[in-house]
Structure formats: structure tokens, C-alpha cells
Amino acid sequence: MSHRSQILFKQDELSVLTYKHRGGFPETVVPLLRDYWQWCPRKNIKYLTSTWFYYCKRQMEDRVRSEKYINPDYSPVDTDEIGDFHPVARNYGICADGSLNWDTEHLYVVDIEAETVAHYTPVDDFLFESESLTETTARTPDETYPLAIDESNKPCVESKQGGKMSESETGDSSSNQSRVSPICQARDCTKLATLAIQSQNGHPHKEWKLCSGHYEEVNGIDPWYDEEREWTLRKLYYRCPNGGRISHNSILKYEDEGGYPCSCGDRHPPQIIQ
């Protein structure tokens, strides 16, 4: 699956909604946006968004030209014509109608003035079929990341309150300094999961991983069928010792490539999973 995402660039009352065809996980998109922010630190939405396409499509062009990206259907970009499905022609685009695609799995909102990127995932199931762009951006994001790099030359990760995550939020302690731990699957919860509830609808291993507070709230019963709960469920993510997030789907995708890309900017070895 391509894991499609949309990226909304906004500045005051102006906004441009863009599309990324594949690789929509935060550990892929957030580092890409941070790299772009360092390369093109403009605070003008007209130039920032147009140059974004150049930046991303130029990377795709370099991949097509490289020996590592061999596909007989993908001709060099300097030929007279490239097909509709050529990576340079297809992977990034503008959403002319300004709405969320039904098959989008991740939405990112880049606030140009605040220099942050907010990440949203769907409330219902795993696609934005029943939610509009306005409805989505009106709620609290799953996570908010700064686009700038801090003084230690490492990306810092912000909690939804806007500050760096505290020790209790990140779960940093002597027992897990070098491990990646699951985050509670109750949306908007930043605590680490400590208990699991078996469920036929659970993601990804037919179970929901919850913190002790949300576990007690549903009394250990499958939350999927609890109509009285005031929170929704989300996909499984892990938190690294640096405060970054890795999606479980990304772990499956990169498990044979010597490490998992993380939104903190590092690539973690397979043995780090707890």
C-alpha cells in the first residue's frame, strides 16, 4: 500500500493543499519537511510551496537517474516525454479542490509563521472518508513537530501543549533509554502503553495497547464496542528514547533494511523494539 498523505501549507488566511502519493508516515514526511525547511527557509507561501515541488521532484529525478532505481518503464527525465505514471510526473501534486482525498491516511499542516508541522490521522478507521479538511484541522493534532533544528543539532519533538516532552510524557527512564516503547492507542494520549486488550478489530495484532488510565476507563473490556467512551482509537505507534515516533506499519516496511526511520531524525536498529 502507498500510504498516501496530504500536506497543507498555511500562512495567515492563505493555504495550499498538496499531495504525496507514497511514504506518508511521520518518520518519512517530518524529516523531509525539516530538510526542506533548512534548504529553503522562505516565509512566503507562494514561493515556499512552488519550490517544495521542485525540491521533491528533483529528488525523484535523481532516483530515476541513479543505478539503484532501475525500472524499464521509467525513462530519464531529459527525454522528450515521460508517461503519466512516471515517478517525477506522479508522486507529488496540488489538490485543486482543496479537500481531503478519501484514501488519505495522514494529513500534515505546515504553519509557516510558527515553523511547525501538525500531524493528523483519521478518527474513523484509517482513512479520511467521513471527515472534511475543516473538521480535521479544528481538532487537536496527533502530534506537533518543530521544523527548526535545535542548538544540539538534533530535531526536538514537541508535545501537543507546545513544549518539549517531559520525562513522564516520553517515558524516558533508566529502564528504557535505549528502547522503543508502544504509545497508548487512545487518540491524543501521550503516555506509554502498559496493558493490552484482546480484540478482533485491534491493530495490528488483534489487540489494543493502552495506558493504565484508559485501560481502567473501559474496565479491561474491548474498547472497540464501548459506545460510551469519549475517545477514539488509532494505529499503533512507538516512542523512541529521543521522543520521536515510529509507526508499526513503518516497522513492517523497513524490518529488512537494517533499521527504522524515525521522526526524531535517527534510524533505529531492529533490536530496539520493546
- pLDDT of residue 62 exceeding 80, the answer is no
In this prediction, residue 87 has a pLDDT band, given cuts at 50, 70 and 90, of: low
| In the chain, % of residues over pLDDT 70 | 73
| In the chain, % of residues over pLDDT 90 | 16
196 vs 175: CA distance, rounded Å: 20
Mean pLDDT of 218-233: 82
Picking from 226, 238, 18, 6, the residue whose alpha carbon sits closest to that of residue 122 is: 6
Q: Are 145 and 117 in contact (CB under 8 A)?
A: yes
How high is the pLDDT of residue 22?
A: 80
Q: What is the DSSP letter of 63?
A: H
Residue 257 has phi, psi (to 5 degrees) of -115, 20
| pTM of the predicted model as reported, rounded to 2 decimal places | 0.58
30 vs 36: CA distance, rounded Å: 10
Mean pLDDT of the chain: 76
Domains in the chain: boundaries: 5-146, 167-272
Q: How many residues does the chain have?
A: 274
What is the amino acid identity at position 262?
C
Kindly report which listed range (21-30, 80-89, 109-118, 236-245) carries the lowest average pLDDT score.
80-89
CA distances from 177 to 51, 172, 180, 183 (A): 39, 6, 8, 15
